[in-house]
Structure 1
Amino acid sequence: MKKSILITGCSSGIGFYCAKELHQLGYLVIASCRKEEDVTRLQALGLHCVKLDLADSKSISQGLSHALEISGGKLDYLFNNGAYGQPGAVEDLPTDALRLQFEANLFGWHDLTTQVIKIMRKQTSGRIIQNSSVLGLVTLPYRGAYNASKFALEGLTDTLRLELCNTNIKICLIEPGPIASKFRENALTAFLTHIDIENSAHKDNYLAQQQRLNSRNKPQPFTLGPDAVLKVLRHAMESKNPKARYYVTFPTYLFGFLKRILSTRLLDKVLNRAK
Structure 2
Amino acid sequence: MSQAFKDLFSGIGYFFRGLGWVARHPLQWLFGLIPALIVLVVYAAALGALAWNLGDIAGWLTPFADGWSEWPRDIMRVVAGIALFGASLFLAVLTFTALTLLVGDPFYENISEKVEESQGGAPPEPDVPLMTQIGRAVKDTVLLGLVALGFALVFFACGFLPVLGQTVVPVVAAFVSGYFLAGELTSVALERRGLLRKDRFALMRRNRGVVVGFGVATVVVFLIPLGAVLAMPGAVAGGTLLVRERLMADSLVTGGDDGSRVNG
TM-score, structure 2 as length reference: 0.32
Q: Comparing both structures, which one devotes a greater share of its residues to strand?
A: 1
**Structure 1 or 2: more helix by fraction:** 2
The structure showing larger relative contact order (alpha-carbon pairs under 8 Å, at least 6 residues apart) is 2
Larger radius of gyration: 2
Normalised to the residue count of structure 1, the TM-score between the two structures is 0.31
